[in-house]
Structure 1
Amino acid sequence: MVDTSFKLRDVVFKNRVLVASGTFGYGDECLDLADVNQLGGIITKSLSMKPRDGNPPTRIVETAGGMLNSIGLANIGVKKFVAEKLPFLRTLDTTVIVNIAASSIEEYCSVLEELEVHDGVDGYEINVSCPNVKEGGLSFGTNSTLTAEITRRLRPRTRKPLILKLTPNVTHIADFARAVEAEGADAVSVMNTLIGMAVDVKTRKPVLSTVTGGLSGPAIKPVALAKVYETARAVKIPIFGIGGIMNTNDALEFLMVGATAVQVGTANFIDPATGIKIAAGIRKYCEDRGIAEVGSLVGCLDAKLGVSVLDTWL
């Protein structure tokens, strides 16, 4: 019997495959398409204090190796989530992580405090790739001081797992991981989407209404692997690997470079059961090789044959 589980604070995840925020709604939307209880966990669509309509269309563009999105953090708001979505999530036999988005540090704190008084939430993933209205709209996640400050302010407000979702749109993601680890983060999610854009050559205009958006899908997997590898060598806290995971082999690569667990994102739009299939595939990989614990694969990469460019950064 292969042990597929892992623990974060007092929360036990049954396996190491979760669905990424924004790709699985609040769980109930995919109920008829996948048995969500077979997942290691669900990370909800981002929640802010008040409902958000998001950006105007066009908000999604298919690319050769994935997709661009500029949804704009559209969501129902925390109060409606508690009233309409949380009762369903409480019935699930899997871990529920709520992703929090905000336009100020105070809003991050308010959303978390609102959720803390209700049962059914096992932990929080903090989306720092949000525009900071007090700093001219610049993303919190591109400023390590602000990212650390968010963590410092949230940490005393909960005993549940606190996961910081980091942006790759920085020079050295490891510096940000170190900063949040020092302020008490339990884990980091690496990585969020890369900045990208698409152009309509007929109209000579950007396809997305916001000009740029977040690139996800298979095209970003090599970048994500390198970011996880860099982060794993810099911090001791667990890492949730994200970026272009479409199948079991992809997930295994992330585990081997240092991810404790993985999140499946864009693949859910093709097949909502992808995460379940990957979890089964990882289990079979271990069974076929006599591996007793999936955890033994974490960071098992043999990279001693050459010197990485990352060695000059760390």
Structure 2
Amino acid sequence: MNSQRLKTKIAGLELASPVLTASGCGGTGRELAQFCELTRLGAFVTTSVMARPRAGRPTPRVAETPSGILTAMGLPGPGVEGFLEHELPWLAEQGVPVVVSVAGNSAEEFAELAARLSGEPGVAAIEVNVACPNVADRGRMFAWHPGAAAAVVRAVRGAAPAGVPVIAKLTPDVTDIVTIALACVDAGADALTLINTVEGMAIDHRTLRPAVTGVSGGLSGPAIRPIALRCVYQVHAALPRTPIIGCGGVATGLDALEYVLAGASAVAVGTTLFHDPGAVPRIARELDEALAARRIERLADAVGLAHRPAGHAPPQVRPATPPPPHTAPQTAPAAVPPAREAAEAPAASGRPAEPDPAPAPAAEVKERTP
């Protein structure tokens, strides 16, 4: 694997690999360390940390669905003090960049968390989970409204340690995710994670009731990858200079490549870790192989490549083994001489032959702005 090819940068944070874990899917890091060295991750993203300890929702809070998982965990965790005492010190010793995800019920609570992280060793970036209920707005998610999402990002940016990137993680459950992304970047977000889970539900045919206690939950896994790709593509088109972490259904290196081509500078692996906890190094290796097969020497050269018109890729980006030239079949039927074909046509139709019409002019092809 070419380690130089996979290097990437997220708002000043240099990563040896563009493949990260997704928040909530790597446990505390100790669980994942049993299956792969954490130094082989681009970064470890923590479960969302809240101000106080939470038990989360009662069970059942996980249900399998076709090509995905429905979860309604309720953000269980030890609270920020427990995290700083027991979890962050161990992660800081592992030699992996740590992105701390934070969640709260008010902008003030988010700011309190960011301030509490200030000065703590091992915090490489802060991911702001704005898909949380806003207690001041009837429990509606911050990420549903540009103003509310921006207020949270602004509060975190103002309280976060200097030089630590702030990453806003957005939900796809909005009419226009570009508007939310623009508001967050204007408020101080250095990068974006796209996307959080998609709200959905399942009904247990045995109990005849919703499959998870909270009625609805967050859908993740391969089922949401087309939605996430669309969001990444749209936001990159509007904010081409803003780093994006693509998240949703990443299971292979080719999945990761799709996100990169759509505009992501990195990807986060989530649901795949539940059945393949060693997936992150494998996906990084497969992504490197996919880039090499296309003669792409740097990941940065592929970021947003799908936005360029056909034929406008960098000169080095081309298949390593071009397809063989087309060859005619060995036994082709004898061609009818043109003169004979013209002579027979009137007799077959019973009408005089007419000259072929002039070819119609080629229609002008216009690019469509997403």
TM-score, normalised relative to structure 2: 0.81
Paired residue type of 2:188: G
Q: CA RMSD in A?
A: 1.7
The aligned runs of 1:26-175 (5 Å cut-off) are: 26-158=28-160, 159=162, 160-175=164-179
Question: 1:262 corresponds to which residue?
Answer: 267
Paired residue type of 1:136: R
Question: 1:241 corresponds to which residue?
Answer: 246
- Provide the C-alpha distance between the structure 2 equivalents of 1:244 and 1:106, rounded to a whole number of angstroms: 33
TM-score, normalised relative to structure 1: 0.95
Question: 2:305 corresponds to which residue?
Answer: 300
Q: Give 1:214's match in structure 2, choosing from 204, 215, 218.
A: 218
Structure with more contact order per residue of length (Cα contacts < 8 Å, sep ≥ 6): 1
Displacement of 1:307 in angstroms is 7.6
Displacement of 1:304 in angstroms is 4.2
Contact 1:14 1:94 in 2 (8 A): no
Gaps of 5+ in 2: 311-364
> Residue 189 and residue 302 in structure 1: after superposition, are their counterparts in 2 closer, same or farther (change >3 A)?
closer
Contact 2:178 2:235 in 1 (8 A): yes
> Residue 173 and residue 308 in structure 1: after superposition, are their counterparts in 2 closer, same or farther (change >3 A)?
farther
Identity over aligned pairs, percent: 37
Gaps of 5+ in 1: none
- Provide the C-alpha distance between the structure 1 equivalents of 2:189 and 2:116, rounded to a whole number of angstroms: 20
- Provide the C-alpha distance between the structure 2 equivalents of 1:10 and 1:245, rounded to a whole number of angstroms: 24
Question: 1:188 corresponds to which residue?
Answer: 192
- Structure number with greater Rg is 2
Count of residue pairs brought into register by the alignment: 311
- Provide the C-alpha distance between the structure 2 equivalents of 1:206 and 1:138, rounded to a whole number of angstroms: 21
Displacement of 1:118 in angstroms is 1.1
Contact 1:257 1:299 in 2 (8 A): yes
> Residue 307 and residue 239 in structure 1: after superposition, are their counterparts in 2 closer, same or farther (change >3 A)?
farther
- Provide the C-alpha distance between the structure 1 equivalents of 2:82 and 2:18, rounded to a whole number of angstroms: 29
Displacement of 1:302 in angstroms is 5.4
Paired residue type of 2:236: A
Contact 2:131 2:141 in 1 (8 A): yes
Worse overlay, 156-165 or 97-106:
156-165
